[in-house]
Structure 1
Amino acid sequence: MNVPDIVFDPRRLAVLRSYQVLDTLPESGFDDIVQLAAHICATPVALVSLVDGDRQWFKARTGFDGSETDLTRSVCAHSLASPDLLVIPDLALDPRTNANPLVAGEPRIRFYAGAPLVTDDGVALGSLCVIDQVPRPGGLTGQQQTMLRLLARQVMSQLELRRALVERDAILLDKQSAEALEKVTASLYTSLFDAIDAGFCIIEMKFEDGAAVDYRFDEVNPAFAMQTGLHDARGKWMRDLHPGHEQHWFDLYGKVARTGESIRFENPARELGDRWYEVHAFPIITSGGSRKVGILFNDISDRKEIELARRETERVQELVNGELSHRMKNMFAMVQAIATQTLRSVPDKVPVEAFTSRIHALSKAHDVLLHQDWTAAPIGDILKAVLGSLERIDRFELAGDKVILGARATLTVALLLHELTTNAIKYGSLSNDTGSVAVSWRLAGAGDGVELVLNWRESGGPAIGPPTRRGFGSRLIQTGLVGSGGVDLDYDAAGLRAEFRAPLVQVQLS
C-alpha cells in the first residue's frame, strides 16, 4: 500500500513529537472520547491515531487489539491530507486501501471515517477515526459527521492541555525559569481553561503550626462551578464556603505545597453532595517564590456509583454461589450416601462404584458452573476439573480454542470425560505409569455450520480392542457431546482414538 508523502514531512513530524505523547500511558480523557465516538457512529472500533514516520500509534482505542501498526496498515495516513472528514464507504473497493493487510486479511475492516487532528497552525497529527467490518454505502449521517468533528476538536484540546502541563512540569524543575512559567500559565488561562470540561483552580494554602487548615481559590475556570456546585468561589476560603469539608483534602494539597511534588488521587467529597473526584494536584511557584497548588479534576461520581453497584452485585453473587455450592455438595453427598446404603447388598460392587464416581464427576462440573454464575463454563476449566479429580493432570496434554459451553452441555461433557478417563485408567493408556492422553478441541466450519470438535488420543498403554459388551458407560460415550451422537471411535493398537462433533449453537445453548 502506498503511504502518502505528507506522512514523512519533517515539520509535521517535529510538531507531532513536540506534544511528547507517543508511547505514553492510557488517559481517561482520551479513552472517554473513543468510547463516545464508537457509540455515536455505531461502530465496533474507534481510535485516536497519531501517525509517526514509521508507524501509527493509538493514544486511545476501543474494539482494536494492539497499540500500534506499521504504516502499510494505516488508513489514517490518508486522512492527513484531507481538509475535512475522510469517509471510505468500502475499503475493499478503494484503490488506496484495498491492498491494506487489515482489509485484505484479518480483521477484514471495510468501513472507515476519520476526522483529522489538526493544530491551530494547520499541521495534521493523525485522526479520530471509527471503523466497521461491514461496508457502509451511505457513510455517516450528518449528525454523526458533526459529532465526529466536535470530538476531534476535543482530542486536540486534550493534547494542547497535556502539552501545556508537560511544559509546565518541565519549567518547574528549573528555578531559573519562573518568569517563563508565569507566561505559560497566563497562556493556559486564555487559550485552554475556558475550553476544557474538567474543573481547574489555583489555590493558596493556609498553615497553622505546620498543619494545613484552609485554602483560598485564587483562580477558577468556567467548568469549576459545574463540577463542584461552588459558585463565585474566586477569592474565597474553602472553610467559609463549606466548614465541614473533609480534612484529607487540606492535608493532600498542603503536602503538594510543602514538598513541591505532584500527586494524582481519587477521593470523596461528602460536603459537595457526596461526589467523587479524580484529581491531579501540582505545585505552582510564583515569581515571588511562594508555592501555590494547581488542581485539575473531574467529577467521577457516576463511575464510582457503577463500581460500587458492581462490587455489591459481585458480593451478593459470591454469597449466593457459596450457599449454592454448599447445598449442591450436601445434595451430592446425600445421593451418594443413599446409593451406598441402597446398593450395599449388591454383590457386584463395580457398577456401584461407577455410579458414585459419575455423581462425583457431576459435582465437579457443577463447581465449575457455579464459578461462572451458573450460565456457562469454559471447556478448558471443565477438562481440568473432571480429569484432575480422577488422575494426575500432568498425564494429560490439553490444547484448544477458548470455547464456552452451556450449562447442560457442561454436565454432558463432564460425564463423557469421566467415562473416557475411567476406561483409560482400567484398560487404556492410564493403566500403567508411562501412558498419557492428548485432549484437543477446536471449532470447524463457518457460519451456522460451525461445529465443536473434541479429540481424545491415548498413547503408551496396552493394546486394546472394542468393548465385548455394551454397558451404560459405552452407551453414554456414544451419545457424544450433547446427547445427539456425532461420535467416531477407533480402537487402534496404539490406543483409543475418539472424535466427538456437535453444532456449536447446540453446545452453547443447551
Structure 2
Amino acid sequence: MTSQQNDKSLASSNCIEEATRLQVLDDYHILDTDPDIAFDRITKLASDIFDVPIALVSMVDEGRQWFKSAIGLEDRETPRDIAFCDHTIRNNEPMIVPDARADERFSTNPLVTGAPKIRFYAGAPLQTNDGHTLGTLCIIDNRLRHDFGDRQMEQLQDLADIVMAELDLRKTILERDQLQRMLDKALNYANVAVWELDTTTDQVKWAGAAAEIWGSDVSEALVSGDDAFERIVKEDLGQVQAAIEAARQSDQSYSAEFRINHPEKGMRWLAGHGNFDMNDGVALLSGVNFDITEVKQQQALSELLTRELHHRMRNLFATMRAIITLTRQASTSIEDYIERVEGRLKALHRAQSVLLNADFLSGSIHALMKEMSDAYPRIKWQGEQHSLSENAMVALSLILNELATNAVKYGALSNRAGGVKFDWTVSTTADDGTQELQFVWQEHDGPPIKNPPSKSSFGTQLIERSVRDNLGGRLERDWNIQGLICRIAMPLK
C-alpha cells in the first residue's frame, strides 16, 4: 500500500470515528442546555484549587466548542478551529500548554493575541466508558505557568471524571424519564392502570391509564386504599379485600374481578392483578387493572344466546314432532304424507334461515317474503319492514306455507293465469291505541270458488291455531269467487 493510500485510509477512519463521537455527544442531550449548579461547583472548585481566573466544562461539537459551565468567561461558545480543547479531543489525552505565546500551535491564535489573552492552558478529556471524548474540563490563565506538573494534572483529571460521572447520571435520568414516558404512553394505549399500595400508610400511587379506568379524579379522590375501596361496588368489596389478604398471608399473587362505580361511565367491570414486595420492612402491593366490561358483556350475551338457542332448538324439535305426528294422522296416503311433511319442514327451514341471518331472537318480514318468492314466484308482496319474534316468525312461515300449498293444489296457483298478492299494513286501534299488523292474502284469476270447504283440514287447523296461539291475533277468510281472501291481524310488539 502506498503512502497516499495510507493517508486516505487514515483520513477515512478518522472521519468515521469523529462521526461516531458526535453521535455519542448528541445522545447525552447536553448541548445548549441551561447552566447547572452541579457543573458550576466543579469549575469553581477547579478555579480555586489551581488559582486560575478561568475554568470551563467544554463540549466540542462539529464546528464549535460550547461551554456547559464557564467561570471567568462570558462567552458561551467559540469556533472549534481556534479552540485549545480541540487538540485535547484529537489527541484523546490530557494536554498542558505552559506558554501559549511560545507554542507554534497557538502563538497566532486570536484567543492568545486577543481576549481573553490565554497564556497557560491545561485540559483533561471528558471520556465515556467506551472511549469517546465529548469535551474537556480545562483551566486557563493569562500568566505563564511552569508549576503545573503531573500531580496537578492528576487532580484535574479527577475533577474531569466527576464531571463525566455527572454527565452519565444526567443521561441515565433522561433515558429513565424517556422510558417512563414511553411506558406511560404504552400503558395508556393498552388501557392499563398501574398502582402501588403502601399497606403501612394506606397511600396509593397511580400511573398509566388510571384516570381512564378509575375516573378522571383518581389523583385527587383516590389517594388511599380506603378511597379506592369506596369506589368498588359494595357486593364485590369483600372478595377483593379477601383476595388481597390471602395474597399477603400466602405470599402469592393477588387476582380479582370486581365492579366499580365509575364517576363518568357508571358501573364498570375491572380485573386486578398484583404482588406483594417488602421494601425496608414495608409491605407494598403493586399491580395493574384492566377494564373488562366489554368482555363481561360479551360473556353475558353469549350465555343469553346459548340459552335462547337451546330454547329455540327445543321449540323447533317440538314443532317438528307435532307436524310429523299430526300430518301423519291427516294424510290420505304415504305420498300425501311425504309431500305435506316436506313442505312444512321447508317452511320451518325458511323461518330458521331468516332468524339465523339476524340475531336468533327476531327476523325480518322482508327476508321471509324473499324466501317465499324464491319458492313461489307468483306471490307478489308489499309492506313496510318490520321484525317479528322467533315464535311469530315460525308461525307466519307455516301459515304462508299452508296458504301457498292450498293455492297450488286448489286455488290461484293451480293454473298459469292466477297469482297471489300478499300485503300488510300497520293500523292503530281506536280503543287503547295498540298497533296491529294486518296481513291480507288475496288470490286472483284462479279457478272460481263456489263454496267454502265442507270440512276443516289439518292445514286449516294449523293456520287457525298458529294465528290464535302463536300470533295472538284474529283470522278472517272469504272464499270469493275470484279467489280466497285471508285476513290476519296480530299485535305489533
Q: TM-score range by the shorter chain?
A: 0.3 to 0.5
Structure number, greater radius of gyration: 2
The alignment's TM-score, normalised by the length of structure 1, stands at: 0.35
